[in-house]
Amino acid sequence: MALTTRAALAAALLALGASAAHAGALEDGNRAFDAGRYGDARQFWLAAAHDGDAQAAFDLGLLYDLGEGVGSDAATAFRWYRQAGEAGLGAAAFNVGVMYDSGRGVPLDRSKAAVWYARAAALGEARAAFNLGQLYESGDGVVKNLDAARAWYLVAAPTIPEAAVKATALAARRASPSSAPLVPPLPVWPAMDYSVPVAGPHPVVELVWSAPVQPHPVTYFVELHAGKNGRFYEVNASYVTTTAISVPLPDDAEFAWRVYAVAADGSAYVAGPWSLFGKRLAAQDTALR
């Protein structure tokens, strides 16, 4: 469950881009870091991070995590990773999950690790999908659910060979279907009435829900509605086999979402409750120094 490092992600992070307002500071920080001028890199990245740049916040987290030019400080590293993760950087969300999973820089909390792994996996982090599969397989931090574990292992399988092996093994362990009713999934993230930090011209949100054990295989149908003053319209409707999804957010300020568990053979379904959330600019959270 190793953290994502800067060296491994440099190309991908640069590809994310930054606004013209702080791209210069970000690039200056990159050059200073590569030259070993870590104190200068920190100052440049602070400027960009306080403008809401997720990559700069991630790089600051790595400075404190590795102790490059600053004292090693896992708690401060965690806060910067969280800021970058909240702004939609999957690598940072994965690191937050790892730190909750290991109790490094923050009290150990595998239920929170599971949420952050799910958010990172929804943003494309295969290692987060693998780690989340392990939590569902063991029932650590989440309800033990071999179907959910297998779904996440299948997501990770194209890049993590061990995940493919685990998915195959779990398929043979599934209990026989029963006639019991389906259990409604429950929204986990965003929590009810939470204001989600967003960044950039095309913000997204990761929707995460519970995965109770079902009497027979299910898929999930996810609805996201947007609007204001109680008047909503549908902006996303998706079927997925996992327990999280990343969806784009329109310009509206208020959102409502829910998840259905749908029997794989289409014979039954059950809806979870609606959950409401809003959004705010990620730059409003840049309070670290």
Check which CATH number belongs to the domain holding 219 and give it.
Answer: 2.60.40.10
Average pLDDT on 162-188 reads: 92
Is 161 found in the same domain as 208?
Answer: no
| Tens-digit pLDDT profile for residues 186-213 | 999 999 999 998 877 788 999 999 999 9
CATH number reported for the structural domain that contains residue 47 in this entry: 1.25.40.10
Is 277 found in the same domain as 191?
Answer: yes
CA angle, 206 as apex, 42 and 276 as ends, to 5°? 115
Please say if the pLDDT value at position 258 is more than 80: yes
Residue 120 is assigned to a structural domain of this protein: no
Which of 145, 171, 197 is the last residue in one of the domains?
A: 171
Is 200 found in the same domain as 130?
Answer: no
pLDDT of 283: 58
Average pLDDT on 141-159 reads: 97
Is 192 found in the same domain as 167?
Answer: no
Residue 58 is assigned to a structural domain of this protein: yes
Looking at the DSSP bridge assignments, the partners of residue 138 are none
Average pLDDT on 155-168 reads: 98
- What letters, b where the CB count within 10 A reaches 16 and e where it falls short, cover 5-35? ebeebeeebeeeebeeebeebbebbbebbee
Please say if the pLDDT value at position 3 is more than 80: no
Read off the DSSP letter of residue 253: S
pLDDT of 4: 62
CA distance 262 to 219: 5
Residue 33 token pair: 């870091």
pLDDT of 202: 83
Dihedral over Cα of 8, 12, 14, 20: its sign? negative
Looking at the DSSP bridge assignments, the partners of residue 226 are 233, 255
Residue 118 is assigned to a structural domain of this protein: no
Residue 275 is assigned to a structural domain of this protein: yes
Number of domains in the chain: 3
90-102 and 74-86 helices, crossing angle to 10°: 140
Residue 1 is assigned to a structural domain of this protein: no
Query: Contact 134/150 with Cβ under 8 angstroms?
Result: no
Across 56-70, 122-136, 257-271, least confident range: 56-70
pTM here is: 0.88
Is 212 found in the same domain as 164?
Answer: no
Q: Which domain holds residue 235?
A: 187-281
pLDDT of 205: 95
Is 95 found in the same domain as 49?
Answer: yes
Write down the mean pLDDT value for the chain: 88
Is 163 found in the same domain as 204?
Answer: no
Strands, DSSP E only, in the chain? 187-189, 194-198, 204-209, 218-228, 231-240, 244-248, 254-263, 269-271, 275-281
| Residue 76 banded pLDDT, cuts 50, 70, 90 | very high
- HSE, CB side, 13 Å, CA atoms: give it for residue 65: 24
Instruction: Sort 271 into a burial class: Cβ within 10 Å, 0-12 / 13-18 / 19+.
Output: middle
Neighbours of 178 (CB within 10 A): 9
Average pLDDT on 278-283 reads: 78
The distance from CA 81 to its chain's CA centroid, rounded to whole angstroms, is: 12
Residue 289 is assigned to a structural domain of this protein: no
pLDDT of 20: 40
* Higher per-residue confidence, 201 vs 222: 222
Is 154 found in the same domain as 93?
Answer: no
Is 147 found in the same domain as 90?
Answer: no
| Residue 5 banded pLDDT, cuts 50, 70, 90 | low
Average pLDDT on 96-118 reads: 98
| Tens-digit pLDDT profile for residues 13-71 | 333 333 444 568 888 888 888 888 888 888 888 888 888 889 999 999 999 998 988 88
38-49 and 54-66 helices, crossing angle to 10°: 140
Cβ neighbours of residue 30 under 8 Å, at least 6 residues apart? Answer: 14, 41, 59
Residue 146 token pair: 């071999």
Is 82 found in the same domain as 15?
Answer: yes
pLDDT of 285: 53
Is 95 found in the same domain as 47?
Answer: yes
pLDDT of 281: 76
Please say if the pLDDT value at position 139 is more than 90: yes
Please say if the pLDDT value at position 219 is more than 80: yes
Residue 85 is assigned to a structural domain of this protein: yes
